[in-house]
Amino acid sequence: MPSIPTFVEQDWEKDAKIVVSLDIGTTQSAVSFAHLYPGCPQTIQRVLQWPGQEAHSGVSKIPTIVWYDSAGQARAFGAEARMSSVEVKAEDEHWQLAEHFKLHLHPDTMRAEYNITVNPLPFNLTLEEIYADFMAYLLRHTENYFSDCVVDGRNIWDQLRPTMEFVIAHPNGWGVPEQAFLRNAAISADLIPSAAAARERIHFVSEAEASAHFVIFHAQLQSHLSIGTEVAICDAGGSTVDTTVYKVDAVKPVLRLKEKQASACVQAGGIFVNQTAADYFTRTFRAAGLTDDEIESYVADALLSFEYDAKKAFKDTAEERDISIGGSRFTDRRIGVRRGSLSISGVRLETFFAPWTSKIVDSVKSQLYGHSVKHLLLVGGFGESKYLRQKLAKNAGALGVEVTLISESTSKAVADGGVIWFAKHAVSARATRYAFGLEVVGRAKSTDIQEKGRIQMHTPTGVKVPGVWSEIVPKNAVFHESEEVTKEFARFYSTKHPDLSCFRTVVFAFDGDTQKSKPRYLSDEMSNLFPGFHEVCKVTANLAGLRDSLHEVRGPEGVVWLIKFKIALTFGATELRASILWQDKLGNVHRGAASVLPSNFA
């Protein structure tokens, strides 16, 4: 079974384990895994045999697509869904195709900023159902591959299945709600049996960070890095392009990287180049008087040819590329096709790429600004585009930064990188992309015009107004993996014995620039969130043990009972972790069995 060299010098010393890394991309997906057992080297294997790709057994990625019948049952996945026999059956039986469904999961702010349009989901299926079906398919064929290619694979898989751990990669711009969605989909797919198990055995890593681990290993950079060196990684995928600047914190015995600032995530991946090309082909064929059926068929042919040839090979306007349409015997002078070939000028091809590569270049330059980066490592499926490579080399070169490529294909670097990340955790510190805090009641200020119309609350400690923003951590703050930040809050009750068995508070995020001015309010007098604020998660805990520890507070307006607690946030891990801390009468600090619940996902 093909495998990459060992990615950790030491042999595995813990209990035997299987780690499966899933990279579910907008257009392409892949799976890598590691069978780790005591005293043996740590190596990675990619799943290389997928239904529909028997003639190309060395291919590790498959299309992220699913055919559904009218009963809502998944009928074909991945490469198999592209087979002509399956497409004919789908047309005859009126199946519907789920593709680019990952775009539905992008946060509303990301979709609005880049004006992303999404395809409707087939037969009123939910997004979670489609993700669960696709995850189950990936795991099913990973199991088949493992059983066939590992000695005694079937027995090993069955033995280690109950403790199997999963790494799921996602774009930098995703957060707690999206991670909660993926966790629920994994449970529905039977990857994990329960929510409790999912919290322990499902791990999330950003696509950029997974790529960082992959590239640092394959480019053999560790021997060339020293403490303080800065390096940037650009992961150009199907939809998102993530760029992150890292600083080397340590080299030996283990390489440790620290994020210099919040990573950049821009919607300018390869799918948008394809959409621009599709728009051109559609206009051209319609202007030639073709029927809708002909247009649909020829555009599909043109895009398939473009994806597998011209998209990677095109470099500059001096080149002309042929697009295959309709087979070698097909000629249609109305659209300029001769013997199945449509010639596209380099000037025209550049219009497919330029709007998106310019966004990528701007995003990369914004990350490099103010840093002493010498190397920009380019990975991802769209990162194999010669045109993109040339544009980045020119613009980064002007800043004294060299674009570095590796010989190994990086189109599915994320899947391999997820396994390496699990074992090495080379990134020891990360930067927050938002400011995080809570909504509180604050002291009324008669001079504050934003206070007009707000309910005034008369409390023993003075007149208060709701909707006040209380920041716990600022935007772009760097936290080490083991670092935790806390802030104390208080809540008033009108009774001495409130129900504290399901204590709940909400964590909010603010994506505005808090360095220029920090907002006083996060919502208006009607409790509508102001632009830039959004709910991240609900944190709950059972604080019933504090019922006898409330503080009595007397004032002009009467008596209330006060409970003090702290919110603890950890950002060093790739997923946001939150918990509630409190202190009893004896001064002992307790950490509640807190859980992080997702905001309502729309």
Closest CA to 263 of 179, 342, 371: 371
pLDDT at 602: 26
- H/E element holding 219? none
Residue 440 is assigned to a structural domain of this protein: yes
Residues 154, 297, single domain; the answer is no
Residue 284 is assigned to a structural domain of this protein: yes
Please write down the HEC assignment for all residues of 241-294: EEEEEEEEEECCCCCEEEECCCCEEEECCHHHHHHHHHHHHHHHHHHCCCCHHH
Contact present, 379 and 211 (Cβ < 8 Å): yes
Q: How many domains does the chain have?
A: 3
pLDDT band at 353 (very low <50, low <70, confident <90, very high): very high
The residue assigned the tokens 């080149």 is 319
pLDDT at 181: 93
- What CATH number is associated with residue 515? 2.60.34
The tens digit of pLDDT for each residue in 510-551 reads 887 666 678 999 998 888 999 888 888 888 888 887 777 788
pLDDT band at 497 (very low <50, low <70, confident <90, very high): confident
Tell me what percent of the residues of the chain surpass a pLDDT of 90: 41
For 294, the token pair is: 């002909």
The tens digit of pLDDT for each residue in 417-468 reads 999 888 877 566 777 878 899 999 988 876 666 777 788 887 777 788 899 9
Closest CA to 566 of 490, 470, 466: 490
Please report which residue ranges of 124-243 form alpha helices under DSSP H: 127-149, 153-160, 176-188, 195-201, 207-218
Name beta bridge partners: 429: 258, 480
Residues 401, 449, single domain; the answer is no
Picking from 346, 370, 405, the residue at the C-terminal end of a domain is 405
pLDDT at 65: 97
How far from the centroid of its chain's Cα atoms is residue 458's Cα?
Answer: 45
Greater confidence, 557 or 19?
19
Residues 247, 185, single domain; the answer is no
Residues 441, 472, single domain; the answer is yes
Residue 3 is assigned to a structural domain of this protein: no
Contact present, 305 and 337 (Cβ < 8 Å): no
pLDDT band at 172 (very low <50, low <70, confident <90, very high): confident
Residue 212 is assigned to a structural domain of this protein: no
Closest CA to 280 of 239, 326, 336: 336
Picking from 151, 181, 206, the residue at the C-terminal end of a domain is 206
Least confidently predicted of 101-115, 147-161, 371-385:
101-115
- Give residue 80's domain range: 17-206
pLDDT band at 86 (very low <50, low <70, confident <90, very high): very high
Residue 2 is assigned to a structural domain of this protein: no
Residues 176, 260, single domain; the answer is no
Picking from 157, 174, 206, the residue at the C-terminal end of a domain is 206
- Going by their DSSP bridges, the two strands 478-480 and 427-431 should be labelled as antiparallel
CA distance 597 to 576: 11
For 198, the token pair is: 């999912």
Greater confidence, 380 or 348?
348
- Going by their DSSP bridges, the two strands 256-259 and 240-250 should be labelled as antiparallel
CA distance 77 to 471: 45
Closest CA to 571 of 543, 596, 593: 596
Contact present, 554 and 154 (Cβ < 8 Å): no
SS3 84: helix
Contact present, 602 and 550 (Cβ < 8 Å): no
Residue 424 is assigned to a structural domain of this protein: no
Residue 454 is assigned to a structural domain of this protein: yes
Residues 230, 176, single domain; the answer is no
pLDDT at 599: 43
The tens digit of pLDDT for each residue in 314-342 reads 999 999 999 999 888 888 888 888 888 99
Contact present, 567 and 472 (Cβ < 8 Å): yes
Q: To 10 degrees, the CA torsion angle through 422, 424, 427, 432?
A: 20
pLDDT at 72: 95
CA distance 183 to 180: 5
Judged against a pLDDT cut of 70, whether residue 600 lies above it is answered with no
pLDDT at 500: 87
Burial of 342 (0-12, 13-18, 19+ CB in 10 A): buried
The residue assigned the tokens 């299309």 is 63
Amino acid, res. 235 = D
CA distance 98 to 120: 8
DSSP 8-state class, residue 569: E
Average pLDDT, rounded, for the chain? 86
Residue 6 is assigned to a structural domain of this protein: no
Q: What is the pTM of this model?
A: 0.77
DSSP sequence for 342-409: EEE-HHHHHHHHHHHHHHHHHHHHHHHTTS---EEEEESSGGG-HHHHHHHHHHHHTTT-EEE--SS-
DSSP sequence for 47-83: ----TT-GGGTT---EE-EEEE-TTS-EEEEGGGGGS
Judged against a pLDDT cut of 90, whether residue 215 lies above it is answered with no
SS3 86: helix
Judged against a pLDDT cut of 50, whether residue 372 lies above it is answered with yes
Mean pLDDT, range 176-191, rounded to an integer: 93
DSSP sequence for 483-528: --EEEEEEEEESSSS---TTEEEEEEEE-S-TTT---SBSB-TT-P
CA distance 68 to 435: 41
Residues 30, 128, single domain; the answer is yes
CA distances for 592 relative to 437, 490, 541, 579, angstroms: 19, 16, 5, 7
Residues 192, 280, single domain; the answer is no
